[in-house]
Amino acid sequence: MLQVYDRVLVSKNTTTLLMLTLLIVGLYIVIAMIESARAQVMVRLGNRLDIKLSQLVFNAAFKRKMVTGDNNPAQSLAELDQIRQFLSGNSLFALLDIPWTPIYLFIAFLVHPLLGYLSLGGITLLFILTLVSEISTKRPIQQAHALTINNASKLNKQLQNADAIEAMGMLSTLKSNWQEQHNKVLALQTQIADKTAGLSSLSRFVRVLLQSIALGAGALLVIGGHITPGLMIAASIILGRVLNPVEQVIGSWKQFVQFRSAWHQLSTLLKEYPAPKEVLTLPRPNGNISVESVFAAAPGQPSPLLRNISFQLEQGEVLGIIGPSASGKTSLAKVLVGVWKPLSGKVRLDGADICQWDKALLGPSIGYLPQDVELFDGTIAQNIARFAQNDSELIVAAALLAGVHEMILRLPQGYDTLLGAGGYQLSGGQRQRIGLARAVYNNPAFIVLDEPNANLDDAGEFALVKAINALRTQGQTTVIISHRPTLLGVVNKVLLLNDGVIQEFGTRDQVFAHLRQANVLKPVATPSPSTTEQQREA
């Protein structure tokens, strides 16, 4: 621009004009290639960061869910995605262009001190606007983010109970409650957008105004003979280059604040739940259990639900845990399999603290059937195999042991029947029986079954009793939580839990005799196939 005004227009040399034009076109092509390469590099850096951190964040979010009962662990992965998008988006480029500002400012001072001070004043004013943007939008952005996460968590929970909501006509009430919270989010987002738009417009106004003032000041300097007309035009362009990165930062401030918040959240998460250290690989356990003075509480709760729990099981023993509702039976089951970490005390498997085992190595040796059985999106075979590499022999063996093989074969695609969204819908009893097959897959040394017959009919319950007897014969230590006398008839030992404390523990005959003396338990008997068939016919 300077050469055009100071040389071409004065000399009227078209050859010089052509060469300058070709030079500028070449420079713009190079700049475009550099910007394209920069964008591609940042996308790949963002992807590399995602790949490097995704597994760490996944594990840390899962641990936090186990420890604190976090209702929305997937939010951490969404924050990682937000960081990746920021690193590969235009918002970061605005920050990367900031270092050019001092260079252009120095050039402005070289042209003339007046233009330099004008540029410096413009930068100061825009930085003040940036500070105002930070102060005015930080709190609303944090509030909107927290409300959005909370609303999503509540909505997910409600959708999990869609049947009950529809049956009891709760939809309109829940929808009103959700809409009320959603409106709060919209109000906050509108407030943020209004402030950001206002400040962006003001910064744009300041830039354009200062460029016009710079042009006028340059004209005065030309009239006074201090600079050439070309420098007058160049000064206006340089001032625009000085102010443009700052203006872009103000326009992208919301994205920067969200990136900073996500980075802080993930840094805190990874600091609180670091990657586990490598531990010595222990041999596959035999199933000897020792519970030593365990106190345990629900995740995030300080008050213990279990107090001073101590007992031992030898390999192959079957323990029945009984007790009134809310006595801590399910809590004890979660402690036994390492889902909950005790506040104090130890649960030892073959002498090693179960919480110190590498879960990936311990998992195949543990079988767990929770009270509320959830199967995952995938085939029945994948669910039974715990989504490990399918081993047809082990899958069928687990199904046969659980007495569910024939039931699976009657399904539309047998073991390849898809479950989950858009897949086959199983009944509660079917889910429980497949969950049992998953629990006994690959002959784990230690199995915990929490109310395994809650949704079973007589045939299913008989198959369950048969499976437990088979587990005992194979030497697999089993813990059963149940109220029904059918299952209590097949256990070796019984533990009576009340208000989180062991009241009775011993052999089945000893405990039952003591409870009968107290007139709180009726005799129990193990059902036979003929009895079960007669009940079904009746």
Ordered per-residue pLDDT tens for the chain, 538 residues: 556 655 666 667 777 778 778 888 888 899 889 888 888 888 888 888 888 888 888 888 888 877 776 666 677 888 888 888 888 777 787 777 888 888 888 888 888 888 888 888 888 888 888 788 778 888 888 888 788 878 887 877 777 677 777 778 788 888 888 888 889 889 988 988 888 888 878 888 888 888 888 888 888 888 888 877 777 887 778 888 888 887 777 777 778 888 888 888 888 888 888 877 766 677 888 999 999 999 999 887 888 999 999 999 999 999 999 988 888 999 999 999 988 889 999 999 988 888 878 788 888 899 999 988 888 888 999 999 999 887 899 999 999 999 999 999 998 899 999 887 666 788 888 889 999 999 999 999 999 999 998 888 888 888 889 999 999 999 999 999 987 777 888 899 999 999 999 999 999 888 888 888 876 554 444 444 444 434 433 3
Tell me: do 239 and 90 sit in the same domain: yes
Is residue 74 a part of any domain in this protein? yes
> DSSP for 245-309?
HHHHHHHTHHHHHHHHHHHHHHHHHHHHSPPPPP-PPPPPP---EEEEEEEE--TT--S-SEEEE
Is residue 282 a part of any domain in this protein? no
Tell me: do 509 and 450 sit in the same domain: yes
**Domain at 99, CATH number:** 1.20.1560.10
**Domain at 312, CATH number:** 3.40.50.300
Residue at 275: amino acid letter: A
Rounded distance, CA 228 to CA 223, Å? Answer: 9
Q: Alpha carbon 322 to chain centroid distance?
A: 35
Nearest Cα residue to 192 out of 261, 129, 135? 135
Q: Looking at residue 344, what DSSP letter applies? A: E
* Residue whose pair of structure tokens reads 């969404």 in the numeric block: 78
Is residue 283 a part of any domain in this protein? no
Tell me: do 42 and 104 sit in the same domain: yes
Is residue 180 a part of any domain in this protein? yes
The dihedral formed by the CA atoms of 492, 532, 333 and 523, expressed in degrees to the nearest 10: -50
Tell me: do 302 and 245 sit in the same domain: no
Q: Provide the 3-class DSSP secondary structure of residue 339.
A: coil
> What is the number of other CB atoms lying within 10 angstroms of the CB of residue 485?
17
Domain boundaries, position 176: 2-272
> Domain end: 224, 245, 272, which one?
272
Residue at 388: amino acid letter: A
Tell me: do 493 and 422 sit in the same domain: yes
Tell me: do 176 and 294 sit in the same domain: no
Phi, psi angles (nearest 5°) of residue 320: -105, 125
- Looking at the structure of the chain, the number of domains it has is 2
CB-count exposure of residue 43 (10 Å: 0-12, 13-18, 19+): middle
Rounded distance, CA 5 to CA 290, Å? Answer: 91
Tokens of 252: 């992208």
Signed CA dihedral, 60, 66, 70, 71: sign only: positive
Is residue 8 a part of any domain in this protein? yes
Is residue 350 a part of any domain in this protein? yes
Tokens of 462: 């008989």
Tokens of 209: 């105004």
Is residue 280 a part of any domain in this protein? no
Q: Do 59 and 210 contact (CB within 8 A), yes or no?
A: no
